[in-house]
Amino acid sequence: MTTALLAKTERRQFWTGSVIDCDVHANVPTIETLFNYLDPVWVEGTKERGWHGPTGPRLSYPPGAATTARDEWRPARQMPASQLSLLQKDILDPWQVDRAVLNCYYGIDSLRHPDWAPALASAVNDWIIAEWLDKDPRLAASLVIPARDPIAAAAEIDRVGSHPGFVQVMLPVRSERLYGQRIFYPIFEAATRNDLVVGLQWGGTSEDAPSPTGYASWYAEEYAAETQMYLAQLTSMVFEGTFQKFPTLRVAVMEGGFTWVPMWGWSMNKKWKGLRRETPWVDRLPMDIIRDHVRFSVAPADLGPREHSQRIIDWLGSDDLLMFATDYPHRHDDRIDELLDLVPETMRSKLMSETARAWYKL
């Protein structure tokens, strides 16, 4: 999400209410950054091997891709979004946010090591606490987990989940299995036990091709098709009965867009009406379950022509589903002032802050 802010417009010129940015990023600049937070055995292992950290982030966000960071947000000789001071200067101050939810996608999932991956997740979480949460009270954050090991993931959630700054568990949208499957119960159990939102975040590692079927040839192709991963994960969670098993579970979709939601909802509803006998625990229309349990970041918004976008927002059937985000430092060229203009009056303050405030209990 970008705005007139880039043209030196004050945000209060188009929005005077409060702002919660539900998706800003922190990038681990180098593996050495984590050494203070990593058990010495892994520090030595890293040095011994000359390892540079997980491959995941560079696959999901190729450093030079235009979408990975706006030019304005690329500091000289530094990785974008790798310092609190950058986030403060680029987002927290000019946007005058009440709160912002910090997400660090470090690709822990791309590490298959059963001990190193959990250790790295702990290090990232402790780094987030020390370098970000403790230094700016406006920040809340997602904790990261070794997502391919649900038991270890649950242990990490229990280790740091009670820290008041953590409001969400980050679940990378690509995975080796669909998240509705019962093997993932420990993650949802731990998240709900600690009263944390589960945030589906762009990134992750599949055991096979990174799309639901086959390999994309180009980054543009992969990036444009990412929606289907969110759709696959949420559909799995709906039909597997994740939301019946964990009735207090709150999910957030980040970087997944939202314009696809109504049509996908219609499709799920239609299939459920005739095929629901297979999954009798799904006790109401799938789209009603989505409205109760899932919120969507508006970065990217992927808006089309005004009249069409307006209709899609109407089809969502609720004022409560969308949450403002910049997705800093990633580049999306949707304009928040245009989006605000599209949504009904009753939705604006919810979109800009109140939905996120309620969802994350900020």
Partner 1 sequence: MNQDVRRTKRHQKYVVGRVDEFPESGRMIVDLGGREIGIFRIKNRFYAVLNRCPHLGGPLVKGQLVNAVTSTGPGNLTLDNSKDLITCPWHNWEFDIKTGQSFWNPAHLKARPFSVGVEAGSEVAEQIEAGAVGLIKGPYKAETIEVAVESDYIVLFTVPQAPGLVQNDATALHPCGSPSAATNKMEEVIS
Return residues touching partner 1 (CB under 8 A): 182, 240-242, 244-245, 272-277, 280-281, 283, 285
When the beta carbons of 146 and 265 are compared against partner 1, the nearer one is: 265
When the beta carbons of 205 and 242 are compared against partner 1, the nearer one is: 242
> Residue 29 and residue 31: Cα distance in Å, rounded?
7
When the beta carbons of 240 and 334 are compared against partner 1, the nearer one is: 240
> Residue 196 and residue 144: Cα distance in Å, rounded?
12
User: What are the two backbone dihedrals, phi and then psi, of residue 74, each rounded to the nearest 5 degrees?
Assistant: -105, 100
When the beta carbons of 73 and 243 are compared against partner 1, the nearer one is: 243
Helix, coil or strand: residue 294: strand
CB of 280 to partner 1, least distance (A): 4
CB of 314 to partner 1, least distance (A): 22
Contacts 24+ apart (CB under 8 A), 87-94: 87/24, 87/26, 87/328, 88/136, 90/328, 90/329, 91/21, 91/24, 91/326, 91/328, 92/136, 92/138, 92/139, 94/5, 94/11
CB of 278 to partner 1, least distance (A): 8
> Residue 362 and residue 355: Cα distance in Å, rounded?
10
CB 352 within 8 A of CB 15: yes
CB of 188 to partner 1, least distance (A): 11
| CA 204 and chain centroid, separation | 11
CB of 267 to partner 1, least distance (A): 14
First-to-last C-alpha distance (Å) of the chain: 22
When the beta carbons of 8 and 277 are compared against partner 1, the nearer one is: 277
When the beta carbons of 83 and 236 are compared against partner 1, the nearer one is: 236
CB of 189 to partner 1, least distance (A): 13
Within 13 Å and on the Cβ side, how many CA atoms surround 347?
18
